[in-house]
Structure 1
Amino acid sequence: DPLANLIERTNKYLLDLRLAHWISQKQYEQLRIKSNEAQLAHLYYLPKAHKPGTPLRPIVSASNTTVTSEFEVIKKLYRWSTRHLRQETLLCTIDVVDLYTMIPQTEGVLAIKKMLNYLKIKEIGGLKAETIIRLSRFVIKNNYFSYDGQYYHQIRGGAMGSPLPLTIANCYMFFLERDIVKQITNGGGFYLRYIDDIFITINWPRRHLYKQIDR
């Protein structure tokens, strides 16, 4: 069971950050792990009933699920449709396969750094941007979980169910999709993404849309 060692290494890393003045004493006390309150994440599966063959979605229990307001999406789509909807309008849905595990860990942390720079954010909640990057790197490199009595260390991507990979995925996709979003928006289209699910409406020939996506 790697839990005890993980707690020890985490607290040591936080103490090193404290001694190097990357975080304050208060932040150290808030972030340090209490052994009597910590437990190792565990892996379980949810069936994807809407897909052929009912594949399983691996979930590592580490956080609550994030939801969004469907009503806001419908309002945006309705406003777009009143101006642009035609008989030849294309409605396109895209699923990014294995997004959480597809993103290399180093590139994922760099995506967070790039987003902080893009938004000109120097500090969040009293944590400096560089400290956030250091903590993100430590977390993504130290993802352990149990399954069927065995213990595993994830070395590629992040775990679905953990909060950090969600942030990484959104930052990574933001920069990856910028060109196609610009193309579709300039063409009078509508582009919407929720994590790994993409919805596009556009008045383009189908071949042109496929070409832009493949780029």
Structure 2
Amino acid sequence: MFNMLQCSEFYRTGDPESMIKRRIKDMNCTALASGLICQKEYDFLTPEYTRFPIIYGLPKVHKDVKDPPLRPIVSMIGSAIEPLSKYVDTFLKPLVSQLPSYVRDTVHFILKLEGLQYNPKQEILVTMDLEALYTNIPQQQALDCVASYLDDLGGDPLHVFVLNCLEIILFNNYFDFNGTIYKQIKGVSMGAAYAPSVANLYVGAFEEKHIYNEIAPFFENVHLWCRYMDDVFFIWRGKEQELLEFFLWLNL
């Protein structure tokens, strides 16, 4: 874990806890005064007593039993930004469920496959995963992506407050490891309530441009594109060499 945190592309050290709490309180006071949130919501979003988030590594034993790589998990329980994270997620979850690729669970996936006609001579069943999805999401692009989805719902002033909350969460992702405070400067944190929804919406925007766009070069080849977080299933209508070209194009 220590070696992972030394990567300057993703992490750096610092301790701005008092600044973050002050900014959260100021933002929430303004929202309360303007009627965007009620007193009960203000009290929830502005906890008086907090602790610093901590990071730990969850071994990926399915990849290597003897020396498994670690999945970094940030526990925000009791932190100043945990309430913001939960609050934001109540607005994002409904958006995620409307994504055309959305898969809720195994039963939902099976239902999507019902009535499917598969021709093994002309089609290829494909599964793939998105490598290190959470840590590779650019934070500003994630914020812009969520803003775009909320804009599509109309100009609700409350959505501006939601985006302000999300901005604080994304750009102030600090945590403690062995007494040293780090800041994640790229990606979103696994373990945070908002993270799955933001990741889903970010990938959903990518899919809208590269998978469901009729002018995308491989639009006619991809059929029944289904995704559960970073796991993807689809049917490829075409040759294997064309499928490999599709993978290369997606990674550009």
| TM-score category (smaller protein) | 0.7 to 0.9
Match of 1:50 in 2: 62
SS state of the match for residue 163, structure 2?
helix
| Per-residue deviation, 1:39 | 2.3
Structure 1: unaligned runs, 5 residues or longer: none
2:240 corresponds in structure 1 to 206
Secondary structure at the residue paired with 2:202?
helix
User: Structure 2: how far apart are the matches of 1:213 and 1:116?
Assistant: 30
What percentage of aligned pairs have identical amino acids? 26
2:74 is matched with 60
Does 1:11 find its partner at 2:25?
Answer: yes
Distance in structure 2 (CA, Å) of the matches to 1:24 and 1:203: 50
Q: Would you tell me which structure has more helix in proportion to its own residues?
A: 1
SS of corresponding position for 2:128? strand
Compute the displacement of 1:59 (Å): 0.7
For 1:43, the aligned partner's letter is: I
After superposition, what is the alpha-carbon deviation per residue over 1:140-189, rounded to whole angstroms, capped at 9, x for unaligned?
11111111222112222211111223222111111112244336774472
Aligned residues: 205
Please, what is the CA RMSD of the aligned residues? 2.8
CA contact (8 A) 2:222 2:235 kept: no
Cα-to-partner distance string for 1:88-117 (whole Å, 9 max, x where unaligned) = 532222222222221221111100011112
Moved >4 Å (runs of 4+) = 1-5, 183-188
Residue pair 1:105, 1:141 contacting (<8 A) in 2 also = yes
Residue in 1 that maps onto 2:181 = 151
Normalising by structure 2, we get a TM-score of 0.70
Once residues 170 and 121 of structure 1 are traced to their aligned partners in structure 2, the CA distance between those partners, rounded to angstroms, is 21
CA distance in 2, matches of 1:75, 1:185: 23
C-alpha separation in 2, matches of 1:199 and 1:101: 22
Mapped to 2, the partners of 1:161 and 1:178 lie a distance apart of: 26
State the shift of 1:136 in Å.
Answer: 0.9
Gapped regions of structure 2 (runs ≥ 5): 1-14, 78-85, 87-92, 94-102
TM-score, structure 1 as length reference: 0.80
